Amino acid sequence: MARGFVIPIGGAEEKFRDPAILKRFVDLCGGRAARIAIIPTASRLVSTGPRYRRIFEGLGVATAAVVPFFDREDCTQERWLAELRLATGVFLTGGNQLRLSTTLGGTPAIRLLRHRNHDDGLHIAGTSAGAAILSEHMIAYGDEGGTPHAAMVTLAPGLGFTERAIIDQHFRQRDRLGRLLTALAYNPSKIGIGLDEDTAAFIDADEMLTVRGSGAITVVDPTEVSYTSMDSANPNDPVSVLGVRLHVLAAGGRFDLRGLKAFPPERG
């Protein structure tokens, strides 16, 4: 089977009035036959998992199960791994992405999810912290602002569902262009994806990204960067980055992560 979709969401997605992003996710996962596994690990609120379960049940899925991976031992339990084997879609909630990486990283649960996403067509979505961790290199935390600074961002290993991008969330609302540029200055081989709130990138098996939601996605392409001063900058110094290409894509816009080309929404 083709690889399943990887779907980072910028946080604060509409859940009730017109939940277009969550509806699209459910449709991909089978609609009324969908089996959604909800992983609330990033959140400290015990209400987060049950809340999303009610939301997905309200969208008419066959089952929505909360998988309580709250410590690394949980990630080895057969009863919870069985839920992941049955799922047609997995949803990672928001919260703290470091809680996700330190709890799930390297466990049987994540090995199973990567296998099922790449080889079994399982769709993986995450919102806010759950979006940030989908990439191979994850922004753990950083400062706000539009100008990159050498010490502006801290990177950590993500879960590796996409190796082509570094993802940032709440992008326009929290003024995070500078920290995404800083992350890319460290490694200009990746594409930056800055997700506004209530906005999602639906990335298919051919690495085509399609925008859904009420905001926009800022795509930062550093692959033709000719110079950065990252190697010589002091921690609080601004960093020069020359040759960056930037695209802003609203709903229906697309970006080919392989061919590095942006497309407007299709007509009609």
- Report, as residue numbers or ranges, the catalytic residues: 128, 170, 197
Angle 165-39-172 (CA atoms, 0-180°, nearest 5)?
45
- Other C-beta atoms closer than 10 Å to the C-beta of 217 total 27
- Other C-beta atoms closer than 10 Å to the C-beta of 227 total 9
Q: Which structure tokens are listed for 8?
A: 């980072």
Q: How far apart are CA 180 and CA 148, in angstroms?
A: 8
Are 41 and 52 in contact by the 8 Å Cβ rule? The answer is no
The full 3-state SS of 206-244, as one line of letters, equals: CCEEEEEECCCEEEEECCCCCEECCCCCCCCCECCEECC
Give the N- to C-terminal CA distance of the chain in Å, as an integer.
30
Q: Which residues of 2-15 are buried (b: 16+ CB within 10 A; e: fewer)?
A: ebbbbbbbbbbbeb
